[in-house]
């Protein structure tokens, strides 16, 4: 509930307030330099308030381009899209099972974007099993593949909350803000499957370390670890996806 309350309140936040609600931990200058030169692909966890982060990134870095999975009813999803567009983001809608990756590649090649992709869970046939904090888990290959296809630097990050005090609290107009923890993964990624796996494992390892520091801010309510999955059901699902592709 906190996430939805804070997210929908963003429409009334002024640009200067937005700036004071977000702090970056990591090499922000290197990130800004990469964004100034080209598109940047950013593997992101389901943590903190990513709508606040997206609004801030569209203001401070470059227009955010991302994918949002359609939810029911359609009217609710349209409200979500309008809300995020109002924050300066460009959204590609994805119905369950729909493949929008080529649309994302084409859009990325046509403009200058910061491209955060929620990537800490992917049970589709396209997902990759990696070591995630010491246990095998399925995450998205999409960020590494998109970086390879668009010749973009690959970064990763997680978001945590922090309580604001003093002048920053007054300037932010809120008692809470977020910290975006950023890490560079690679200047470039090749289309080689081995490199895709290596770069995915690289960001997954860093993400697991960050989430271990802020587990209370990780909004992952579904199984991602292999030991928690119904593997027979997963295999049947992957077989159906391969038949339909």
Distance CA 235, CA 239 (A): 6
- pTM value is 0.92
Number of domains composing the chain: 1
Range(s) of the domain holding residue 139? 2-244
Closest CA to 182 of 84, 60, 87, 90: 60
Place of tokens 């699902």: 237
Q: Per residue in 125-180, pLDDT tens? A: 889 999 999 999 999 999 999 999 999 999 999 999 999 999 999 999 999 999 99
- The length of the chain in residues reads 245
Q: Per residue in 24-74, pLDDT tens? A: 999 999 999 999 999 999 999 999 999 999 999 999 999 999 998 887 787
b/e code 83-118 from CB counts within 10 Å (16+ = b): bbeebebebeebeeeeeebeebeebbeeeebbbbbb
């Amino acid at each position: 509930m906190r996430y939805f309350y804070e997210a929908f309140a963003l429409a009334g936040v002024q640009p200067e307030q937005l700036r004071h609600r977000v702090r970056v931990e990591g090499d922000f200058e290197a990130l800004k330099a990469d964004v100034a030169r080209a598109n940047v692909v950013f593997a992101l966890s389901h943590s903190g308030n990513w709508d606040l982060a997206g609004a801030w990134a569209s203001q401070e870095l470059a227009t955010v381009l991302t994918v949002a999975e359609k939810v029911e009813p359609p009217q609710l999803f349209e409200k979500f899209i309008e809300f995020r567009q109002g924050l300066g983001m460009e959204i590609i809608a994805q119905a369950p099972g729909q493949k929008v990756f080529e649309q994302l590649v084409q859009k990325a090649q046509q403009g200058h974007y910061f491209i955060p992709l929620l990537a800490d869970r992917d049970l589709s046939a396209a997902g990759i099993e990696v070591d995630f904090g010491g246990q095998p888990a399925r995450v998205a290959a999409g960020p590494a593949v998109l970086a390879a296809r668009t010749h973009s630097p690959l970064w990763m990050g997680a978001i945590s909350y922090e309580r604001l005090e003093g002048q920053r609290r007054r300037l932010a107009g809120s008692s809470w803000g977020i910290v975006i923890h950023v890490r560079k993964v690679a200047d470039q990624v090749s289309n080689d499957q081995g490199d895709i796996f290596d770069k995915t494992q690289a960001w997954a390892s860093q993400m697991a370390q960050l989430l271990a520091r802020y587990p209370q801010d990780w909004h992952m309510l579904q199984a991602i670890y292999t030991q928690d999955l119904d593997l027979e059901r997963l295999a049947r699902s992957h077989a159906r996806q391969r038949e339909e592709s």
